[in-house]
Structures are given as structure tokens and as C-alpha cells.
Amino acid sequence: MSKLNVPDKITNEKLVELYKQMWTIRFFEEKVDQFFAKGKIHGTTHLAVGQEASAAGVCALLEKEDKITSTHRGHGHCIAKGATPDKMMAELFGRTTGYCKGKGGSMHIADVEMGNLGANGIVGGGIPLAVGSALTASMKKLNYVTVCFFGDGATNEGSFHEAVNLAAVWNLPVIFVCENNQYGMSGPVKEMVKIEDIATRAKSYGIPGVVADGNDLIEMMNVTNDALERAKNGEGPTLIEAKTYRWKGHSKSDAKKYRTRDEETEWKEKDPIKRLKELLISESIITEEQAESLRKDALKEIEDAVAFAEEGPMPTKGDLLTDVFA
């Protein structure tokens, strides 16, 4: 058990593992960004650089049997729930060695074996699916919780309100995690909703709404732990609003002309990885040298993932309709 104010199951060793995991997420995103710029990966992508603590903090508390639904900005969720970067990178390269045999791409990675029910290219599309998963657990008396990740923009979709209401009425074991990164595409969240905190909307459905610092791994673990206990005790859903910031644009074609460099600099000073590193060093859990070694290990893991992806075979014409249902 760690001496820090963390859930009981989180040890110092787990905190060190999470530090490396957050670097793995960041290096994955940065490498993908580079390959898109070079034209080596096709389609589009949505990167979560700067948002690593929400994915890592939430999923750190989950068991293998627990489920997640993800978003178009979901690479971090996948890694945090146990996906391997090599098969993820192969998927983005369109190789048959990818999670979806190269047919899903960036926005549709799924790893059902690890409880990842899949990312979703539709804004708010994963919310009803998460509630359906939670309903399955309730009706079949299965001991798992479903975590639903979505962005601030999704909270203005009808799917959000309908699904949260149903989950609340039926006390389903689901946790709604809104990653409020301040923008829905180019629209500032302050111009999209009248309230200061999206978590306030939970009151309309009679469930707890919690605002958390989405750049603070420890805080994200603690609020998730509370929500998990509620869900597993049959007390129903929780809405967690993780306030964070995406360093990159909405997608690869976004020049970010709608925000200032001063704003970006201010948020980068709240870098979740840097904050965790400083905490671990101040608590004598790791040294500066160990932190650098973990960073390098994460970078090598991503470089190895790229090599794996590039060596994988492309689909053949015969593969075109395989796994296609309609």
C-alpha cells in the first residue's frame, strides 16, 4: 500500500507502472502524429496528448472483467485498459496484425478480451452502448462495472441524456466519465453550455456529479474508486467530469486558430506526466534517474510497436468482405 492518499489497491509499484503507462500513451500519440504528417497512416486521427491522467487514473482501478467504451480520441483508453501498442499501431497502419485486422483504424479499436468494447467515431455513440453493457451485468447478475468515456461535446447529444436517465432510473453499474478538454472541435465549452460544470447535469437524473482535475492522476483514481464502490454496491451511476486539455488540435487537419498560444502554454504547465513525476520523486518512490529510465522504456515500446506494424502484411482482396456483416 502506498503512503499517498490513494485507493487501498494502489501500491507504489502500481504508481510507477502508471507513470510509464502515461509516457507510453503520449509517445504513441506523438508517433501517430508524425506518421500522419508523413502520409504513412491514412484517414484521420484525434490525439489525446495532455489527457493521459484521466485514462490511466480511471482504468487503474478496473479489473479485467470490467468494461469500457471509448471515443474517437481513444488511444489512451485502449492502452490504459490493457491493449498492446504493437497491435494498435498495426491497426492504424491498416495491417492484418492489428486489433481489427486493419479494418477499423484509429477510431474503432476494440479489445473485447480485455474489456474494451470499442472506440466510436460517432460523438456520444458509446454512451448507450455502455448503458447496454451495464444492463447486461444487472440482468445477468454479473459482477462487472462499465466505464463510459466521452467528451464535453457529447453532453449536448440526445444519446447522453437518454442513456444517463435510463441508467439512473434502473440503478445500473455504469460510470460516466466526461473528459472536458475545453473544446468540442473548435467550439469552447463555455459557449456551448450555460453551466460552469458539466457534472452539475447529474442532479437532473438524481445521481452524483463529481468535478475532478483531469490532469491529476491521484485525484482521478480517488473519484473513480468512489464511483466504483457505488456501482458495485447497487447504488447506480456516477457522472465524473475530468477537466483537462488536449495539446493538439481536434484532428490532424486542425490548425488551432481558435485558441491562443498563451492558453496552450498555461495548460502545458499542468502537464499530468510532469506532475506525477514530481510527486513520485518528492515521495522518494523513484529517483530522477529511474524516471528517465521509465521514459526511455516507454519510448522503446512504441518504437518496437512501429516496427511490428510496418512488418505486418496488408489485407488481400480476398479479405475485403471477411468480418463484414452487411
Which pLDDT tens digit goes with each residue over 12-59?
Answer: 999 999 999 999 999 999 999 999 888 888 888 889 999 999 999 999
Read off the pLDDT of residues 302-311 as tens digits, 9 standing for 90 and up.
999 999 999 9
Range in 86-90, 168-172, 248-252 with the lowest mean pLDDT: 248-252
Please state which of the four CATH numbers 3.40.50.970, 3.40.630.40, 3.40.50.720, 1.10.10.10 is assigned to the domain occupying 12-308: 3.40.50.970
Distance (Å, whole) CA 150 – CA 186: 17
pTM for the model stands at: 0.95
